[in-house]
Amino acid sequence: MPDFNIFSENIYDSWEVDEKRFIDVARGILNYYLSLPYVYKTCCLNNFEYNTVSFDILYCDSKKTHQINKEYRNKDYAADIITFAIFADSDEKIIFDGEINLGEIIIALDKVVDEASKKNVAKEYELAFLISHGILHLLGFDHQTEEDYNFIMDLQNKALESIGYDKV
């Protein structure tokens, strides 16, 4: 397995996320995904030589995701999660000193809290769920069809189970 460099920053004042904990969560999820041959063979990392995989997580609010959506994606709404899959979406796959930068996951924590309340799950579970979703996007997976959506949801649930995450 490669090394993982996962960086995070929280600019949302209303929830002091335990960033170390969620970096460990992200590391566990990524490790799980890459350990599955059927995932690895179809992800953006397949057929490349590297020893480190990195990405960033930004915790913010829905005003920020709305601004980012408008500016970069021409979408006029706040999102719970936005991913910029640098490596997966690029025609030029850049590997610098053996490191692949997958991109960035941006998560609106106020939306996480709202969604957790609606689903009657802990906000930490919902955050881990979104991180697992974002990692799949960074690896090049999408959910344009119902079949793809079901595949991703199943993978996310298995990833969270693999690291001992439950909904409470």
Mean pLDDT taken over the chain: 96
Rounded to two decimals, what is the model's pTM? 0.96
Q: Residues 44-58: what's their mean pLDDT?
A: 97
Rounded to whole angstroms, the Cα distance separating 77 from 163 reads 32
Q: Residues 14-26: what's their mean pLDDT?
A: 97
Structural domain for 22, as ranges: 3-162
| Model confidence at 168: pLDDT above 70 | no
- Domain annotation covers residue 67: yes
- Domain annotation covers residue 168: no
Tens of pLDDT, residues 84-123: 999 999 989 999 999 999 999 999 999 999 999 999 999 9
| Model confidence at 166: pLDDT above 80 | no
Q: How far is CA 95 from CA 46, 57, 101, 103, 152, in A?
A: 13, 20, 8, 13, 26
Number of domains in the chain: 1
- Domain annotation covers residue 167: no
Confidence of residue 167 (pLDDT cuts 50, 70, 90): low
Rounded to whole angstroms, the Cα distance separating 98 from 11 reads 30
46 half-sphere exposure, CB direction, 13 A CA radius = 15
- Domain annotation covers residue 142: yes
Residue-level pLDDT at 165: 84
- Domain annotation covers residue 20: yes
* Pairing assessment for the beta strands 99-108 and 81-85 based on DSSP bridges: antiparallel
Q: Would the CA dihedral through 163, 21, 102, 54 be positive or negative? A: negative
Tens of pLDDT, residues 117-138: 999 999 999 999 999 999 999 9
- Domain annotation covers residue 146: yes
Q: Which two tokens stand for residue 51?
A: 């020893």
| Model confidence at 76: pLDDT above 60 | yes
CATH number at residue 133: 3.40.390.30
Confidence of residue 27 (pLDDT cuts 50, 70, 90): very high
